[in-house]
Amino acid sequence: MKLKSLNFTALAFVLITTMVFTGCKKDKSNEPEVIQLPEKAMFVSTYDSNTGATIYLLDGATGALTTKYTYPAQANVTWTYAVAGNGFLYSLDNNKINAINMTTGAVVWTDAVDNASAPVLHDNVFYGVQKINATSYNVYALDATKPSKDYVWKYPLVAAPTGVKHYNGLVYVLITPNRLVALDAKTGALKWDISASDPYSLLSLNNGVIVSGNNILDATNGTQITAASAPAIIPTYGALTNAVWSLRYATKDMYFVETEHYNSETHIATRYISAINTLSGAVKWSHKYDGGFAISHGIWNDIELVWNGQLIVKNIQNNSLKTTTRTYERYWLLDINTGSEKIIFDNFWTFGKSSEGVIANNIHYVSQMVDNGDVFTPAAGKYLFAVDLANAKQVWRDDKLLSGYGGAMSVCVFTAGKAYSPYIQ
């Protein structure tokens, strides 16, 4: 009996111990799955008012989907953009900034802020515009490394600006298209406030200049460097030539003008891009790039970036059809010193409009919205491209990931501890 009692006691101890320790085991069913980030992690963010936000994690080297993080729809949210930095993946939207664990998609902390436009990230600070009410706004600086109860600084406004940009220690705010202020990025103190008859463009800001109409301004102090002028190109069609021109891009050393010459009787047009020395006004080169009927469709170029001594040019054509207008786009490169056409991206000849691209380690990542203006074009959706700028070869193209999605989206690439996005400056 004694032996049996001992066995029963031992068995009971084992059972109780097992039950206790089993009950103490952590339930991992609700824990988010940890994902191994690809060497080139590409985050693509979208927002749908019915389903909420989705951040797709792709392998930037192949375009393959690794996983996706989803977040429920919320009232008054219409957009969300993903950026990476300080060890976090951030989701920027109308009402807040979420700091997210990159490898799980779990929200670590949230800063509630009513954003009038998408903020930008520079190092460890967010710069944005906070809406107080219909007539009151604040430009703000917010610590991006931790949940922040207090802003680093605020600068009050009485009108809704169109957005902010950071460059070289200054925060630039377009109050209206024709009014621009610059604030000290560390203190929020006003550095200067200027107005002009022509709208301001900050497209060339990273080259240290600002454009207003045909005027080129120093981004440091807002003063004029020079006024652009049309290049002296021999009229293509002699006495029947009509010409129009516009400033497309600028650096402190050169500015780039697009010129269209067309025959006033036949309406056949020829176009040029010319590089002009900022100080002397001398034409360095002129590149003839296109021709066609001036009245049947519009053709123009947007110069978006300077990469490795070359201009990244987006060629755009709007073709008028019986029922609608189709938009075609392609990308090509011009050598900034010679004007030679280095590469033509013929694979970009699709019907659609592309977003601002992201360059990470010589790879150009672009998203494109398909134009479904008539029955001959595909259904609405988004295409993703990756092109190696060094050899003009398409690395990959994804036509299916966002098939049917027609809303706004953004791309952020994270590799070797550094992130690339239009919202990282």
Number of domains in the chain: 2
- 8 Å CB contact between 197 and 210: no
Q: Has residue 286 been placed in a domain?
A: yes
- 8 Å CB contact between 278 and 284: no
Percent of the chain residues past pLDDT 90, beyond the cut: 56
Percent of the chain residues past pLDDT 70, beyond the cut: 81
Is pLDDT of 110 > 50? yes
pLDDT of residue 249: 94
CA distance 183 to 399: 42
Q: How many of the other CB atoms lie within 10 Å of CB of 18?
A: 10
pLDDT of residue 306: 86
CATH number for position 144: 2.40.10.480
Give pLDDT tens digits for 312-353: 888 776 665 555 556 667 778 889 999 998 776 654 445 556
pLDDT of residue 425: 94
CA distance 271 to 42: 37
Shared domain check, 225 and 190: no
Final residue before a domain boundary, out of 125, 160, 195: 195
Shared domain check, 121 and 188: yes
pLDDT of residue 291: 60
Q: Has residue 138 been placed in a domain?
A: yes
Q: Has residue 232 been placed in a domain?
A: yes
Q: Has residue 328 been placed in a domain?
A: no
Final residue before a domain boundary, out of 177, 195, 213: 195
- 8 Å CB contact between 363 and 387: yes
Is pLDDT of 392 > 90? no
Listed range (154-158, 281-285, 396-400) with the worst mean pLDDT? 396-400
Q: Has residue 425 been placed in a domain?
A: no
CA distance 254 to 204: 11
Q: Which of 292-296, 356-360, 375-379 tops mean pLDDT?
A: 356-360
Q: Has residue 402 been placed in a domain?
A: no
For residue 296, what are the contacts with CB-CB under 8 A and spacing of at least 6? 319, 320
CA distance 242 to 239: 8
Q: Has residue 22 been placed in a domain?
A: no
Shared domain check, 235 and 186: no
CA distance 30 to 132: 37
Shared domain check, 233 and 187: no
Shared domain check, 188 and 258: no
Pairwise pLDDT comparison (327 vs 62), residue with the higher score: 62
* Spacing of C-alpha 81 from chain mean position: 9
DSSP H or E stretch at residue 20: helix 2-24
Q: Which domain holds residue 281?
A: 221-295
Give 113-179 as a DSSP string.
--BSS--EEETTEEEEEEEEETTEEEEEEEESSS--SS-SEEEEESS--S-EEEETTEEEEEEETTE
Is pLDDT of 12 > 50? no
DSSP annotation of 115: B
* pTM beyond 0.75, yes or no: yes
pLDDT of residue 149: 82
- 8 Å CB contact between 272 and 258: yes
Q: Has residue 126 been placed in a domain?
A: yes
CA dihedral 169, 175, 181, 184 (to 10 degrees): -40
Final residue before a domain boundary, out of 242, 261, 295: 295
Is pLDDT of 121 > 90? yes
pLDDT of residue 163: 83
Average pLDDT score over the chain: 84
